[in-house]
Chain A
Amino acid sequence: MRFSRVPFAIAALFWAVFSIKATGAGSDVGYEVEAQRQFGTPNPASVELQILSTTDTALLAPLIESFLQSHSDVVIDYSELSSAELMKAVLSQDTTSSDGFDLAISSAMDLQVKLANDGFTRKHSSGVRALMPGWSNWRDHVFAFSQEPATILLSRAAFADLPQPKSRQNLIELMRRHPDRFRGRIGTYDAGTSGLGYLFATQDARSSDSFWRLMELFGSLDLRLYCCSGAMIEDVASGKLVMAYNVLGSYAQARRDLVEKILILEPEDYTNMMLRSAVILKTSSEPDLAGLFVDHLLEAAWGDDADDLTSGYPFRHYPVRSSGESAPYRPIQLGPGLMVYLDRLKRAKFLREWHSTVEQN
């Protein structure tokens, strides 16, 4: 993920989301694609599936390849872009045509829900539905195919002589006891610029009262803000940071090379789980094929006998539980509630508060 390359104000986008109908679908809102790759060998009989995704091409590539093994005459056009650009790309399409993008895969759960809510997606009755937990599917429009924890990254070197924290409470105590060791060496997402950071922050704020205390403490210890997980992982590994908060666990786990240097902490009090999801777009020219691809993702994620080596599923499998149970893993709920934080006024108010808390100097 390269949230860092999305430096413009996402707030503007939200306004666009709401006003797209009002200003007219024909307005040429350009969007920026970071990378594009074609999977499969095209031939005259081949069918093309156009996927918009916020996920690193390399991460999903094995999963895509395994799909193509059983669908040899399919060509997949994979465009990688930021969640905001993805939104723009979808909104820029003529919703009445049916030769646009087929699928949108994104980690921005709130935007995915909004796409579905506002009628840009298509219903898909998945044959895999029986295997999926109820919370991983919204309206048969939004299908989650991963659980990725918001983790706390610790530098093994910095914590060599400290007891290993298990929860946010432990962290708060440690920071209070050793403020000097942490000062200027704590990092987290800039909720104002990072969509994922905003999602994690708002869910934290909803989940726990300790969030604001933690932020206040961070602020007093000269919190450093990041655009994306990658940079935080690098800085923790290099020792520039002692700790990075709300780092996407799946990315940290993927860095096997840094296993000696970083410690991935899934807090015991609660760990928010981001759900990466796919929607089939209304503009899809191949909805059935898109559905098959979604089923392929879901089978890899939720199937009983999923074989990650064969399928190329890149994410960790977490126990599937209903969200109601008091477990440390809390999958963020897909649903209209997520749209609350997309509200212009709500967002402005939240960010105002957040900034005033973390930026005390």
Chain B
Amino acid sequence: MRFLLVEDNASLATAVLDRLRLDGHVVDHAGDVETAEGFAATMDYDLILLDIMLPDGDGRDFLKRHRARQEKTPVIVLTARSEVSDRVGVLDLGADDYITKPFDFSELEARCRAVLRRHGGNGSNQKRFGDLLFDPMGGTLTLGTKTTSLRNKELRLLEIFLASPEQIHSKTKLVDRLFSYDEDVSENAIEVYVARLRKHLAGSCVSILTVRGLGYRVSQE
């Protein structure tokens, strides 16, 4: 997906960019309002992540103009403030959601997903893999005529697997991405979710293979 990140703090921006690109998204970065306006005018984005305090103006002004142009692109505001008054302000101006810095990346992902889901997504986000039709926005998996709703962790696990099929995912990495850091889970917890996914994939040409000592790999027969 294509993101526009509007954030003036360079190191935070770099970190967020790295993180999003790591997940396979295309991200443009604007350090101020003017640059952001330029990007927004020339490109179509799936989502805009917008900081409030910018060197050449207020992110809220950008938001106001953005909505005034009848742009439909959803916006998530990144704010350092925790005050609800700010939240009310940005939501009133047309932001779809906001997240308080510093944010747990999985929370950001969850919010992005929720926002995109609310926007109805688009068909292009559906992924076909073998005989599977996977809709990460809707959180559904369709096998033939049977459509299954996936729970959050199952969905994310499947997303990780399908993003790079045939690659081996170590249990450690999977725990990192699936669980927040305040959850004390052992690597074995992953096995529970893998077992559930396998159940959903039964009868499909796609299967999750265990690579002993290394992790898991998705393969297509």
The answer on direct contact between A and B (beta carbons under 8 Å) is no
